[in-house]
Amino acid sequence: MSNVTKKARYIADVFGINVPRNNDLVVEVYDGKVDFVPKLDKDFRFRPELLGDILAWLRVSETLKDGLFLTGPTGSGKSSILTQIAARMNRPMQRVTAHSRMEMPELIGHHIVMDGDLMWQDGPLTIAMRHGHMFLLDEMDLLDPATAAGLNGILEGAPLMIPENGGEVVEPHEDFRFVATGNTNGGGDRTGLFQGTLQQNAAFMDRMWVVEVGYAVPEVEKEILSSVCPSVPDYVADTMIEIANEVRGLFMGKDGNPGAIEVTLSTRTLVRWATLSWFFQGKKEQGINPINYALDRALANRASPETKTALHEIVQRHFGK
């Protein structure tokens, strides 16, 4: 990363949002070919307020070495916005999905045998710190709190010490950033919706900004559907979005109470449903409703029989027979 140059560009141009083009609203974009940059999704739509929070963190974290934690329901776009910010800024990223049995060597590295010799191989966290990449830890609330606490020093800007590699000390590159996502806010799951999540160490969570990410508003989801599935008629897309929001309400519940159903229509599932609905239009010739047929394959077939019936009743109520 030492030979990579940066150039200032207007936020409006980089992220395709409607904000003024002035020198107060610019970001530094890496110039030229850079490895490990996430794949660009041209259909992705940024939510200005959420984007503003993340860009503010990027700027402030140059001096205040906090991490960033995005929390929200499944499929709300937590990981996507982070990867797409990196893609548009041409910033490299190391991405890892946490699990309950994860230990620090998975992140830091380990020895391997190569051509008969024992050699050290950096893990994704070490690579990110050494070369100035963003490090994304998805599903962070699945991580054992004791393992997470081992990251406390990293989140304070401290160097990484690797005793297994002869006591090597890796100083964090100035462009290194730590970001994470989770379905809970680190305080554990009180709803029963997100099995396997764990309450995280308070000292660990205290070292990060926490930003809530809900589902996109209907106008944004309409833009996404129009871009990804342009053949789907407007009234069908609008109705699907209405159904998605009703299903989400049943999934999330109210006032901390468990939801009435165990699956939800996230934005990515909504896109899948719309795409399959158009793809299976030929089912009409067999007397099969393509919208219901697609719903089963996009979502309902992994629900309980009772929930599957409820989903089809909701669709019938909105679309009619």
| Structure confidence by residue, pLDDT tens digits, 155-177 | 999 999 998 898 999 999 999 99
Distance of CA 60 to the CA centre of its chain: 21
Sorting pLDDT into bands at 50, 70 and 90, what band is 255? low
Please say whether the beta carbons of 159 and 172 come within 8 A.
yes
Domain coordinates of the chain in residue numbers? 6-212, 218-319
Asked whether the predicted pLDDT for residue 60 surpasses 80, the reply is: yes
Question: Could you tell me the end-to-end alpha-carbon distance of the chain, in angstroms, rounded to an integer?
Answer: 58
Please say whether the beta carbons of 80 and 215 come within 8 A.
no
Sorting pLDDT into bands at 50, 70 and 90, what band is 238? very high
Of 2-16, 111-125, 255-269, 295-309, the least confident: 255-269
Average pLDDT over residues 40-46: 92
pLDDT computed for residue 10 by the predictor: 94
Query: Class of the 6-212 domain?
Result: alpha beta
With pLDDT > 90 as the criterion, what percentage of the chain qualifies?
A: 72
153 membership: H or E segment, kind and range: helix 152-155
What is the reported pTM? Answer: 0.88
CB within 8 A of 40, min separation 6: which ones? 84, 87, 88
> Using CA atoms, how far apart are residues 33 and 28, in angstroms rounded to an integer?
15
Residue with tokens 């160490």: 201
Sorting pLDDT into bands at 50, 70 and 90, what band is 256? low
> Using CA atoms, how far apart are residues 267 and 225, in angstroms rounded to an integer?
9
Mean pLDDT of the chain: 91
CB within 8 A of 230, min separation 6: which ones? none
With pLDDT > 70 as the criterion, what percentage of the chain qualifies?
A: 95
pLDDT computed for residue 321 by the predictor: 63
Asked whether the predicted pLDDT for residue 260 surpasses 90, the reply is: no
The tens digit of pLDDT for each residue in 65-105 reads: 899 999 998 888 999 999 999 999 999 999 999 998 999 99
Average pLDDT over residues 119-124: 94
Asked whether the predicted pLDDT for residue 32 surpasses 80, the reply is: yes
Give me the residues paired with residue 138 across strands: 97
> Using CA atoms, how far apart are residues 50 and 70, in angstroms rounded to an integer?
10
Dihedral angle of Cα 313, 314, 317, 320, to the nearest 10 degrees: -80
> Using CA atoms, how far apart are residues 259 and 224, in angstroms rounded to an integer?
27
pLDDT computed for residue 223 by the predictor: 93
DSSP-derived letter for residue 30 is E
> Using CA atoms, how far apart are residues 210 and 71, in angstroms rounded to an integer?
7
pLDDT computed for residue 259 by the predictor: 76
